[in-house]
Amino acid sequence: MTKNIIVGQSGGPTAVINGSLYGVVAEGLKHPDRIGRVYGMINGIEGFLQGHMMDIGSLDQTNELEMVRTTPGAYLGSCRYKLPESLEDAVYPQLFQKFEELGIGYFFYIGGNDSMDTVSKLSRYAQTIGSDIRFIGVPKTIDNDLVETDHTPGYGSAAKYVATVVREISADATVYDNKQSVTIVEIMGRHAGWLTAASILARKFEGDNPVLIYVPEVAFDQEAFIAKVTESLKHTPNLVVCISEGIHDEDGTFICEYSSEVGTDTFGHKMLTGSGKYLENLVKERLGVKVRSIELNVCQRCSCAHLSRVDLDESENAGIFAVLSALAGETGKMINFIRNKSVPYELSYGTADVNIICNQEKTVPLEWIIADGSDISNEFIDYVRPLTQGFVELPTKNGIPLFAYRK
Amino acid sequence: MTKNIIVGQSGGPTAVINGSLYGVVAEGLKHPDRIGRVYGMINGIEGFLQGHMMDIGSLDQTNELEMVRTTPGAYLGSCRYKLPESLEDAVYPQLFQKFEELGIGYFFYIGGNDSMDTVSKLSRYAQTIGSDIRFIGVPKTIDNDLVETDHTPGYGSAAKYVATVVREISADATVYDNKQSVTIVEIMGRHAGWLTAASILARKFEGDNPVLIYVPEVAFDQEAFIAKVTESLKHTPNLVVCISEGIHDEDGTFICEYSSEVGTDTFGHKMLTGSGKYLENLVKERLGVKVRSIELNVCQRCSCAHLSRVDLDESENAGIFAVLSALAGETGKMINFIRNKSVPYELSYGTADVNIICNQEKTVPLEWIIADGSDISNEFIDYVRPLTQGFVELPTKNGIPLFAYRK
């Protein structure tokens, strides 16, 4: 007897989250003896509760599914919705009744930390009622902050984006190289500095820009920062500094919070600027040099300009492996990556208990953060480089990438 | 008898400005009977006055010159330096003495409006003293605002960047498509909306995002804007709006100036936010929907992720044609582009009097701005599309583009 799949996406997007979706759908369709239809939740578990879903397996008849693979964002739509802590809540029987009506045997949820919480709760509830539906999480996050996995799908492409763009910004910064200047690049990452650390790949040679790199794993000292900038300007007149948005001082105050004192706008809103803008003003005030700050915006998580072939393939494989694991009887698991070797790069796929993943964050090891917290070590380069390799050619029309979208 | 070339770069960079530099150098080296060395000014005319230059022709012996071609920024370094208005100023004989010492017969300056002013002044001074040095300007600007040319080198790649990134941002914007949201994208262009207009290429179908596009050629009315956003949200729940940084109201006040009233930061600096940030707050205040604003940063002018093959080739050809024009005896000219046909795209290269170019700005024709100034017409698409075509493969190492740089 066949059972059906339901798959959903949750949390912030990545450039390759749809690669995992493609993997789940494509693999799901390869087992007609055991799997019937492949449904997609529209806007994750939140939309599903409101009855929003589609027969995504039917896209297989069109070019659309192939295009989904390289489309950034979340093809099915996402949500930020946390299931109630109490498994006694009425939402659980409600959900499982829907699963039963749809003949669901396999549930896949593609997301980060909070999404694994959803998988954890549903699998635990299933156990209490003796349901045999299998619940598997497929990791994704540009933040690379999930435990129990070497890295997360989505990180490699975001890291490659950051490295490339910081190299471009460094080229731009040296255009007026007869005048001193400081360029501060603010990169996503509130508690983990993985993405900011990847900016080290932008260096063309030892000592090249970005000369200074600050991650949130260690406390940020404004005076020490000014001293480092002063020192660095002596040998690098056009200095590029990369910082995580989440850098904070010793007592945990985010650096961006210092700028929240600046007042209110014409509507009475508190003016909040980022850490980069705050440090721009600090450097201008203290050193009197030309300074600019650049906030790498959502392109960090949605640009398909610098897709890593390795990352896209691994994302897809994570989706495939999720289906195979569910068919093998696993539930309450997240697909994880086990690195066998860095040179040459070899990866194995496995599963980890979702319950020990969902409320933890993996940060950059302190021994990889050097130079009083202003630089990253070469060990990190060995770690990150394999994840950013290989080129992905996108389908284009008139020179602009083609994306899939739900009509 | 051979004469030498001196070439310089000036003003803001583009992704392909070094393509023109490559064109000048490569073509210069092809005429050993008439051209001896090819010198480069470091940091334009300003650096040259201080004695900074290099023998850029000697790079021909290395791979470096080939890499210069696809390196963003300005390989020789740039400057923002205006020569004195009075040709009686002592700087002119000083410059021409240096030219004589170096055996210069041909002077090429790659830049925008202000750079053409330099070419104009030097060529006029040459005339007054009977010098036979030839002065030729090679256009570049992402702003596309030079008169007497169909378009400018650098614009096509920047337009392609904007179109691609706005399409990516639109994909990102629809991730939570069960909730209304407005995303405001601020694009470079203080007086001319060419680059902002190119965001229209991001639309996947009629009526797709960006639904609203505002350029600085027409006055921006805040109430009309709120009405358009309200109306558009009815059919597009995740609305993307593109604006030029230079949008202004009827009496010429820049929209970003409204936000300058917000107060001062902890250092006593006036807090200036962009037009996008101001409109973000306006929409939030008036409509209560989720709003974010994204400022496309310097990547607009330095990203090599979306180089247009057409743009890069034309940039290089502009450099080549500059050398050929100088050899043919022309001086006081800027290389210009004459479009013969859009379909199929056919371009001719010519020269225009630099004196009528240097203090004018070309803006988007008013008849291409439609829907009460909130949209761009299809005529513009026919104009811009050919300039964004074709893919350029960059040299890479470990997945990151390789750039040339002066040691």
Which candidate in B167, B240, B265, B273 is best for mutational testing of the A interface (most A CBs within 10 A)? B265
Whether residue B370 is contained in a domain is answered as no
- Secondary structure E strands in A304-354: 333-342, 345-353
Asked if the model's pLDDT at residue B137 lies above 80, the reply is yes
Mean pLDDT of B122-133: 98
Q: Checking phi first, is residue A372 left (phi over 0); if not, alpha (psi -120 to 50) or beta? A: left
How far out from the chain centre does Cα B7 lie?
19
Instruction: Determine the pLDDT at residue A272.
Output: 52
- Which entry of A89, A117, A132, A143 is annotated as an active-site residue? A143
Q: Is the pLDDT of residue A300 over 90?
A: yes
A27 and A145 together in one domain? yes
Nearest Cα residue in chain B from A385 = B398
* Secondary structure (H, E, C), A121-139: HHHHHHHHHCCCCEEEEEE
Q: Same domain for B147 and B177?
A: no
Last residue of one domain, picked from the residues B302, B323, B348:
B302
> How high does pLDDT run on average in chain A?
94
Question: Where does the pLDDT of residue B62 fall: very low under 50, low under 70, confident under 90, or very high at 90 and above?
Answer: confident
Residue ranges making up the domain that contains B165: 156-302
Asked whether residue A201 is assigned to any structural domain, the reply reads yes
Please report whether residue B377 resides in a domain. Answer: no
Asked if B147 and B32 sit in the same domain, the reply is yes
Chain B hits for A72, Cβ within 8 Å: 168, 171-172
Residue after which a domain boundary falls, among B254, B270, B302: B302
Hey, what are A226's tokens? 């000014």
- What value does the mean pLDDT take over residues B46-74? 93
Starting at the earlier edge strand, list the strands of the sheet with B290-295: B212-214, B238-244, B181-187, B290-295
The whole-number pLDDT of residue B263 equals: 47
Q: State whether B228 and B314 are in the same domain.
A: no
Strands B369-370 and B290-295: unpaired
Are both B121 and B201 inside the same structural domain?
A: no
DSSP letter string over A182-251?
A: EEEEEES-SS--HHHHGGGGG-SSTTPSS-EEE-TTS---HHHHHHHHHHHHHH-SEEEEEEETT-B-TT
User: In A, residues 230-259, which contact B (CB 8 Å cutoff)?
Assistant: 258-259
The last residue of a domain, from among A302, A321, A338: A302
Domain membership of residue B351 (yes or no) is yes
Cβ contact, residue pair A72, B390, below 8 Å: no
Domain CATH code at residue B184:
3.40.50.460
Asked if residue B146 and residue B124 are part of one domain, the reply reads yes
In a domain, A384, yes or no: no
Q: Give how far A302 is from chain B: nearest CA, Å.
A: 6
Look at residue A202 in the predicted model and tell me its pLDDT. Answer: 98
Coarse DSSP helix, strand, coil percentages of chain B, rounded to the nearest 5 percent: 40, 20, 40
Are A19 and A104 members of one domain? yes
pLDDT for B261 equals: 47
Q: What percent of chain A has pLDDT over 90?
A: 89
In a domain, A26, yes or no: yes
**Contact at CB, A164 and B400, closer than 8 angstroms:** yes
Q: Is the pLDDT of residue B273 over 80?
A: no
Task: Please give the tally of structural domains in chain B.
Answer: 2
Q: What is the mean pLDDT of residues B70-87?
A: 95
Rounded to an integer, the average pLDDT of B72-90 is 95
User: Is a pLDDT exceeding 90 seen at residue A79?
Assistant: yes
Q: What average pLDDT does the segment A122-148 reach?
A: 97
Query: For a pLDDT cut of 70, what percent of chain A falls above it?
Result: 96
Query: What integer pLDDT is reported at residue A359 of this predicted model?
Result: 80
Residues A7 and A150 in one domain: yes
CATH of the domain at B31: 3.40.50.450
Instruction: For residues A226 and A343, state if they share a domain.
Output: no
Mean pLDDT on B28-33: 97
Q: Is B130 annotated as a binding residue?
A: no
pLDDT value at B282 more than 90: yes
What are the phi and psi torsion angles at A53 (to 5°)? -155, 170
Whether residue A311 sits in one domain with residue A287: no
Q: Which residues of B are catalytic?
A: 143
The per-residue pLDDT for range B219-257, each reduced to its tens digit, is: 999 999 999 999 999 999 999 999 999 999 999 999 988
- The SS3 call for residue A265 is coil
Mean pLDDT calculated for residue range A399-403: 93
Structure tokens at B393: 């493969």
Q: Does residue B77 sit within a domain?
A: yes
B171 and B128 inside one domain: no
- All residues of chain B having their beta carbon less than 8 Å from the beta carbon of residue A304 are 168
Based on the domain organization, do B216 and B202 belong to the same domain?
yes
Residue A274 lies in a domain: yes
**A344 preceded by cis ω (within 30°)?**
yes
Show Cβ contacts of residue B258 under 8 Å, excluding neighbours closer than 6 positions. Answer: A266, B278
